[in-house]
């Protein structure tokens, strides 16, 4: 691999500075690291120098952390918790308490999120979580707002979001596009692009570049009124 890219212009800070430091210490170029992630060669160069994307996606952070042998949190901006902090559920015996956050994900045009303070908990059986592949997962519960995911998800439903670093696969996710948090079915369309799909056919699909949208977590359960 090529030597690590040299620092030009304004010095990067936070996770950008840490990534550059790790790359230089290993003697690997940002272009080579971008290719490791399956991205275009300028992806990490733009992330460090231009701040675009604003933050690394979870799967990219996890892969880079594994490559460098460091904790994934070293590559996460502590000021940007993606509006859903990767909280560790409280465990007690046979039960796990998952925090309910005072936060909504729009199932519609989308909205800017507000406070994310925990106000309550859901209690899940540890056995149930293990049966669904969620043992030790970073889980939070938030509220669905809007009707674009009906009839699968209705306005007011509460969803369990798994924020654990995992390889991306098509499915229902909470995502951030710009400063807007929303819940959509996310599908890869190839060539570095993804489609944000609504269950309600009144809402047309939205296709964007993969690096324009942050995958916050996968929706793994829902609860709501009948």
Determine the pLDDT at residue 4: 44
- Residues 68 and 95 grouped into a single domain: no
3-state DSSP assignment of residue 76: coil
- Range of the structural domain that residue 30 is part of: 14-75
Largest Cα separation within the chain, whole Å, is: 59
- Residues 70 and 94 grouped into a single domain: no
Mark which of 75, 101, 121 sits at the end of a domain. 75
CA distance 19 to 74: 8
Is 82 a domain residue? no
Q: Give phi and psi for 46, each to the nearest 5.
A: -70, -35
How many Cα atoms sit within 13 Å of 133 on the Cβ side?
7
- Residues 49 and 161 grouped into a single domain: no
CATH code of 111's domain: 2.10.109.10
Q: How many domains are there within the chain?
A: 2
- Residues 94 and 179 grouped into a single domain: yes
Determine the pLDDT at residue 109: 45
**Assigned token pair, 125:** 């059986």
Point out the residues of the chain with pLDDT beneath 70: 1-13, 73, 77-92, 103-117
- Residues 204 and 140 grouped into a single domain: yes
CB atoms within 10 A of CB 112: 10
pTM of the predicted model as reported, rounded to 2 decimal places: 0.59
3-state DSSP assignment of residue 47: helix
> Among positive and negative, which fits the CA dihedral 202, 180, 169, 36?
positive
- Residues 60 and 129 grouped into a single domain: no
- Residues 20 and 110 grouped into a single domain: no
- Residues 60 and 106 grouped into a single domain: no
Determine the pLDDT at residue 77: 60
CA distance 99 to 81: 16
- Residues 52 and 112 grouped into a single domain: no
Q: Which residue has the tokens 């098509």?
A: 170
Is 23 a domain residue? yes
3-state DSSP assignment of residue 43: helix
Taking only the tens place, the pLDDT of each residue in 167-206 is 888 899 999 887 788 899 999 998 888 999 999 999 999 9
- Residues 69 and 101 grouped into a single domain: no
CA distance 140 to 118: 9
Taking only the tens place, the pLDDT of each residue in 60-82 is 888 898 888 887 767 876 444 44
Kindly report whether the peptide bond that precedes residue 90 is cis, defined as omega within 30 degrees of 0.
no
CA distance 101 to 104: 8
Determine the pLDDT at residue 224: 86
Determine the pLDDT at residue 12: 65
Whole-angstrom distance between the N-terminal and C-terminal Cα of the chain? Answer: 57
Residue 18: exposure state from Cβ atoms within 10 A (0-12, 13-18, ≥19): middle
Determine the pLDDT at residue 81: 41
């Amino acid at each position: 691999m090529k030597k690590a890219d040299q620092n030009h212009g304004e010095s990067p800070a936070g996770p950008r500075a840490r990534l550059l430091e790790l790359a230089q210490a290993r003697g690997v170029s940002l272009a080579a690291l971008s290719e490791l992630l399956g991205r275009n060669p300028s992806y990490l160069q733009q992330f460090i120098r231009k701040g675009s994307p604003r933050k690394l996606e979870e799967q990219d952070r996890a892969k880079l952390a594994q490559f460098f042998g460091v904790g994934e949190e070293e590559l996460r901006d502590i000021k940007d918790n993606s509006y859903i902090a990767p909280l560790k559920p409280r465990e007690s015996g046979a039960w796990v308490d998952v925090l309910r956050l005072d936060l909504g994900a729009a199932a519609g045009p989308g909205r800017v999120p507000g406070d994310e303070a925990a106000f309550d908990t859901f209690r899940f059986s540890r056995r149930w979580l293990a049966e669904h592949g969620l043992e030790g997962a970073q889980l939070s519960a938030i509220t669905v707002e809007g009707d674009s995911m009906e009839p699968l998800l209705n306005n007011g439903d509460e969803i369990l979001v798994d924020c654990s670093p995992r390889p991306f696969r098509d499915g229902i996710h909470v995502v951030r596009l710009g400063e807007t948090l929303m819940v959509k079915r996310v599908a890869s369309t190839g060539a570095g692009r993804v489609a944000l799909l609504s269950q309600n056919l009144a809402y047309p699909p939205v296709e964007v570049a993969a690096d324009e949208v942050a995958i916050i977590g996968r929706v793994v359960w829902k609860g709501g009124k009948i």
